[in-house]
Amino acid sequence: MREPEIGPEPLAADVLRRDRRVQQAKDLLLAAWSEIRSLLNGPRPACPGRATDYARAVEELGRLRGRELFFPYLASGIGRGPLVELADGSVKYDMISGIGVHVLGHSHPAMLSACVDAALEDTVVQGNLMQSRVVPAFLSRLLEAANRRGARLSHGFPTTSGAMANENALKIAFQKKHPASRLLAFAGSFAGRSLALSQVTDRPEYRQGLPETVRVDRIPFYDPARPDEGTRAAASALSRHLARHPGEHAAMFFELVQGEGGFYPGSRVFFRALMEILKKRGVIVIVDEIQTFGRTTELFAYSHFGLDEYVDIVTLGKLSHVCATLFRAELNPGPGLLSQTFTSSTAAFHAAIAILAELTEGGYYGPDGKVARLGALFAEGLRAIERRHPDLLTGPYGTGAMIACTPLGGDAGRVKAFLQKLYQAGVIAYSAGAPAGRVRFLPPFGCMDPDDVRAVLGILESTLVTVAGNNEAAAEEPHAEA
């Protein structure tokens, strides 16, 4: 962890961290963890003797939550890279990683070391009146990375979730542009499920019964089948909204790759055309990187698309563990607008610094970086499956380490059933799209190698063929007479 030096006298905290017994404890933990992790060599089914108690625990959690889990997933607390062990004794390839959170996979040594460092601190969480040196260490590293290609993001406010990062972005924009009260967003967008963000998210079912809090005008998203015409249509729609409500729009939300919507990337030309219009009209550009952060050929997707000069506010989260809202100096809000008792756990800050160090120093980005290579291998594997089974799968979709495919014609019910079968076979993935007819992968690329990718694709293909065969057999089975 990189921390600012404060004063010449040694701090008790630093003396503790440097104590040889602390390092010995770390070494012993890592050695024990390494030996245990070696037992996890690949997917395996659940232990029959654990089935009853495990099913009971899963059912109880569903009862306590008020709804059942999408997968019967209760982790044991250990894994090995892309493999995770569940409390029923099964081991699975985790290709959704908490919806994009665990970029270094399970039981990564850097995460263990970071969590031990966090345990040495006396506060479990950081917040408004309880911040340690780990907070400026995180923010300085993050802002340095954010501005590498010319963005002018001067400040960052950490928070506990992507939704809160987006809420803070909204508050900054509305305060700056008061009395403007409208927003712009893409059709098919997803920004979160809070009271305000449910209006930005283009899923009416997510705001059923909720009052309208923010008025949002929709712009059509990029259409790769007609890029020039689609870009002109989007620019025209934007201009119409701005003309119809002059001076009333505070900001526009940009998802540069639509995540929940189905893993649809835009293009540099498309985004620049819209952002040029917004800049001329004084409308704030908010880039939502909650899901894209770290998963394109650059650490920030706005750099991947060459949009650094346009961004005013950027939100990020998921794989960073600590979420944050980054913004330009001229948007720095007045006192009291941003203040949280908890801005994230101490362990999350330590982990975030370790993750940023790995990603910024580990050769992940650029056209030949690890993200591009892993994404290309995954994409080519999906194309090969499509060539062998054109009636069963189409794809790939997405970009970099955001990968998707459409199995079984994209029927939402069949895709949900397929995901459950895939889970049973040893691969965890998730749905996307509206309706949810697409399978998405957010692989833990920080710990994967080509053999892992090939193993996952093999399980995917065999499960797809099995499910399709079972469906055909069921369709051909004669119905019993009444």
| DSSP H or E run through 427 | strand 427-428
Return the pLDDT at 37.
Answer: 86
For the cut 50, the answer to whether the pLDDT of residue 481 exceeds it is no
Q: Is residue 225's pLDDT more than 60?
A: yes
CB 397 within 8 A of CB 431: no
DSSP classification of residue 256: S
Q: What's the whole-number mean pLDDT along residues 308-330?
A: 97
Rounded to an integer, what distance in angstroms lies between the CA atom of residue 409 and that of residue 147? 42
Strand segments (E) across 138-223: 155-159, 182-186, 215-219
**Rounded average pLDDT over 456-469:** 96
Contacts of 416-424 spanning 24+ positions with Cβ under 8 A: 417/467, 418/463, 418/464, 418/467, 420/71, 421/463, 421/466, 421/467, 422/459, 422/460, 422/463, 423/71, 423/92
Mean pLDDT check: name the lowest of 3-12, 182-191, 195-204, 385-394: 3-12
- The band of 480, judged by pLDDT with boundaries at 50, 70 and 90, is very low
Confidence at 313, pLDDT banded by 50, 70, 90 = very high
Structure tokens at 468: 């399709």
What mean pLDDT, rounded, does the chain reach? 94
181 contacts 213 by C-beta, under 8 angstroms = no
**Kind and range of the H or E run holding 326:** strand 323-327
Asked if pLDDT for residue 2 goes beyond 90, the answer is no
Predicted pLDDT of residue 474 = 55
> pLDDT value at position 435?
87
| pLDDT on residue 482 | 31
Tell me: pLDDT of 479 over 90: no
DSSP for 78-124 reads EEEBTEEEETTS-EEEESSHHHHT-TT-BS-HHHHHHHHHHHTSS-S
DSSP E strands in 122-238: the ranges are 125-126, 155-159, 182-186, 215-219
Smallest CA-to-CA distance from 324 within 141, 194, 446, 184 is with 141
Contact by Cβ (8 Å): 185, 220: no
How far is it, in rounded angstroms, from Cα 391 to Cα 388?
9
Angstrom distance (rounded) from CA 39 to CA 370: 27
pLDDT tens digits for 370-407? 999 999 999 999 999 999 999 999 999 999 999 999 99
Q: Report the pLDDT value the prediction gives residue 88, as an integer from 0 to 100.
A: 97
User: ∠ CA 390-392-394 to the nearest 5 degrees?
Assistant: 65
Query: Please, which pLDDT band fits residue 9 given cuts at 50, 70 and 90?
Result: confident
Calculate what percentage of the chain has a pLDDT beyond 90. Answer: 93
Confidence of residue 469 (pLDDT cuts 50, 70, 90): confident
Reduced to 3 states (helix: H, G, I; strand: E, B; else coil), residue 186 is strand
Q: What is the pLDDT of residue 434?
A: 85
Averaged over 12-40, what is the pLDDT? 93
List Cα–Cα distances, 453 to 82, 172, 250, 315, 448, in angstroms: 10, 41, 43, 30, 7
Percent of the chain predicted with pLDDT > 70: 96
Q: With the CA atoms of 129, 132, 136 and 139 taken in that order, what torsion angle do they form, in degrees rounded to the nearest 10?
A: -80
- 320 phi and psi, to 5 degrees? -80, -10
Give the Cβ contact number of residue 412 at 10 Å: 14
Q: CB atoms < 10 A from the CB of 209, how many? A: 4
Omega cis (within 30) before 158 = no
Quick check: helix, strand or coil at residue 468? helix
